[in-house]
Amino acid sequence: MTPLIRIEDLPLEDNVRRIISSWGITALYPPQAEVIKRGLHRSGNFILASATASGKTLIAEISSLYSLFRGEKVLYVVPLRALASEKYSEISNHLEPLGYKLRISVGDYDSSEEPLSSYDVIITTYEKLDSIIRHSPSWLKDVGAVVFDEIHYVGTVGRGAIVEMTIAKFMDSNPTARRIALSATITNLEELARWLEAEHISSSWRPVPLKTGVFNNDTILFDNGDIIKVDNKEDDDLINLLRSDICSSQTLIFCGQRKTAVNLAVKLANKIGERSKETEELSRRIAEADPYSSMHKVLSDVVAKGVAFHHAGLSHEIRSMVEEGFRGRVIRILTATPTLAAGVNLPARTVIIRDHKRYDQEVGFSTEIPVFEIKQMMGRAGRPLYDERGYGIIMAKSKREAKIIIDRYIKGIPEPIASRLNDMTQLRAQILSVIAMKGQIDMDGLRKFLSRTLFSVQIGVDRIRSAIKSIVEFLAKNGLIEVDDGIMVPTTLGRRTSELYIDPVSAIMMRNSVNRASSLLSAKKIDELESSLFQTLSFLPDMPPLGVTKGEVESFVEEEFNTLLPIEKLPIGSYIDVVRAVKSYYVLKSWIEEMREGEIERRFGVEPGDLHRFVETASWMLYSFSEVSKLCGKKDLAKFLLEESMRVQYGIRKDLIELVKLEGIGRVRARALYRSGFVSIREIARAKPEDLMKVPGIGEVLAKRIINDAKRRISYADPSNRE
Ligand SMILES: Nc1ncnc2c1ncn2[C@@H]1O[C@H](COP(=O)(O)OP(=O)(O)OP(=O)(O)O)[C@@H](O)[C@H]1O
């Protein structure tokens, strides 16, 4: 293994050396030492590509110190919310003891986050940074260094364009801030470096060496030619593999679909699971956290035997419990969908890729997973401090397939990271945001702006000249921008659309729905308004699509279809979209009528994680719709929509809107308080902790906290009480 380099032997200033040792670091990993030897930690832009867990975060922290010393701010940008929390706890441990103030900013997309001006380090996501830039806060110019973490996300279908344009916008609004980009190992690093005007460093060093191979029948063939035979006692290859020495420690198994991950976990728990005090304790905690979901019940059962599954259908809370259980080595075998590979840091000794294909919703069948992603998944093998070696194994169904897998995935080179700005839907929203951000711009200016993108480096802006022209015409025709003598200016609706961080098509559909919604409200036809409103939401491009089953299509009753827009103005691709609209209405209606999540899962097949993502976006769309109604002068409708947004956010009837504003009070506790006679904040402010502790689900700490919060809110609401 490559020796580590002692910090004494590196060209570091004394104070920086002292700080690093106060973090318990005495030597640096080779990629870290390389950055320091080249002096890139002190100044200039750089992009570092190296393996998972090779210490990229530390190098970003050391480089950030130089800006912090000068009193400048540091922005740390990551692609996922879960990663933002991980980075926050990691970095705050290092920087808070030095007196720096850190803040994580991921939520609300309609805010300039002005209060962030008092923080030194801001950890955020690409989407949130994009929305912050759209509000042009004063503190952006004080940023002296920006870390673009996991920058290979620019190549992701769907979100890549946002990552790319956010970076381009940041470079435009603050060209002098140092750019520190971190990435997984990639083949076209130079191109990315050219885009960022940065020096590049690439390293193949790994803290734990990795052996990769393919498994078929009873044989594992490794990349270096080694062969290991596995006892084939049973007629199930995977079980035989899991019983071999290679899998004697923690093993992560990637499956192509959620259903496969769940079924496999059940099978493995029954066949090779082992109970312990710790597994039963974790199982009990999972069961208690959500006693109603049938999927969480299955999870709790398998966890009792040291096996778990992990996919986006699990609720956020339960997913974190699984992650914690795996990190704490309570769970020995974890089955997961590929989303895990991209997300949180969960290393295992052995990674098995059961399926190198996955279901693709866009095309409707399974497609091969890119080499880049498979390498990322296998790269998780090998736990620093625990393993001398990690194993990444891909399963093959036949000898012929094994050969194809070796050529493609084991010996193959990952695909280069390619710009996704050719995605017209994303480009449309991004062009509007550039026009809104600039206030006024002509075609040359717009093209010049777009030349700051990776797309321009890789393909050239001229190649999408006509696409840009047609997007501009679309925005002008639909009243989001005005074009006068070649100068493009955002309209009020256009500017607000950009600030609200919604697709221009969503804003146009909302604006076109305002009159019908308003007349239903004036006529007090609330049920009809709610039904058509929720059904219209399902057609907005921002909404995550709900899955529709064959049974739902067959039992569909056409009369229930009802939207705010005439059918010819809706983007209906197929009959399924119509069924989905009605289903969306029923799901949202059940949610705001306080139906339990487990019941929604049982009746509609919507798993908790999907339900949360769905209602979170729906609530945001309703808030945006309320803002659009205000612009159209429909105040009553705006008020109604704002209330609906709150109800959808929390899943509550109207009478709980006040109570859920209190800290720590969600739909279940709010209803319990209400049932016990605490129907308003005023009543809670007057209550004693003992009274509230009689309400189910409320202990002493929470009782005191909500009474204090209620008192604070009341004194704030009454100006005579303010100091
Ligand atoms: N020089 C070092 N000495 C000892 N431990 C280190 C050193 N550098 C980093 N580490 C530790 O190694 C672990 C992995 O580091 P880190 O998470 O920064 O890797 P990374 O390259 O950013 O990974 P990823 O690609 O997953 O983001 C962390 O626990 C970190 O504290």
ipTM exceeding 0.90, yes/no: yes
| Amino acid 360: pLDDT | 74
**Top mutation candidate among 8, 29, 58, 203 for ligand 1, by most atoms within 8 Å of CB:** 58
Angstrom CA distances, 420 to 47, 54, 104, 159, 423, stand at 20, 28, 27, 8, 6
CA 55–ligand 1 middle distance (angstroms): 3
Residue ID of nearest Cα to ligand 1 atom 7: 55
The Cα–Cα gap between 495 and 493 comes to 6
CA 286–ligand 1 middle distance (angstroms): 30
Ligand 1 pocket member 55 (CB < 6 A): yes
CA 381–ligand 1 middle distance (angstroms): 15
pTM above 0.80, yes or no: yes
The Cα–Cα gap between 645 and 193 comes to 43
Q: Render pLDDT for 611-630 as a digit per residue (tens, 0 to 9).
A: 999 999 999 999 999 999 99
AA letter at 485: D
CA 57–ligand 1 middle distance (angstroms): 6
Which of 151-165, 328-342, 473-487 is predicted most confidently? 473-487
The Cα–Cα gap between 665 and 679 comes to 13
Question: Is the Cβ–Cβ distance between 394 and 409 less than 8 Å?
Answer: yes
Q: Is 418's pLDDT higher than 80?
A: yes
AA letter at 129: L
Q: Render pLDDT for 349-374 as a digit per residue (tens, 0 to 9).
A: 999 999 998 877 667 778 889 999 99
Ligand 1 pocket member 53 (CB < 6 A): yes
Residue ID of nearest Cα to ligand 1 atom 1: 28
Mean pLDDT, range 209-220, rounded to an integer = 94
Q: Render pLDDT for 434-464 as a digit per residue (tens, 0 to 9).
A: 999 999 999 999 999 999 999 999 999 888 8
Question: Is the Cβ–Cβ distance between 252 and 380 less than 8 Å?
Answer: yes
Q: Which residues of 682-713 are buried (b: 16+ CB within 10 A; e: fewer)?
A: eebbebebebbeebeebeeebbebbbebbbeb
Question: Is the Cβ–Cβ distance between 455 and 479 less than 8 Å?
Answer: no
Residue ranges and CATH numbers for the domains of the chain are 5-202 (3.40.50.300), 210-410 (3.40.50.300), 424-500 (1.10.10.10), 504-651 (1.10.3380.20), 659-721 (1.10.150.20)
Ligand 1 pocket member 29 (CB < 6 A): yes
**Top mutation candidate among 17, 23, 57 for ligand 1, by most atoms within 8 Å of CB:** 57
Which of 126-140, 468-482, 550-564 is predicted most confidently? 468-482
CA 53–ligand 1 middle distance (angstroms): 5
Ligand 1 pocket member 78 (CB < 6 A): no
| Amino acid 722: pLDDT | 44
Task: Confirm whether residue 426 is marked as ligand binding.
Answer: no
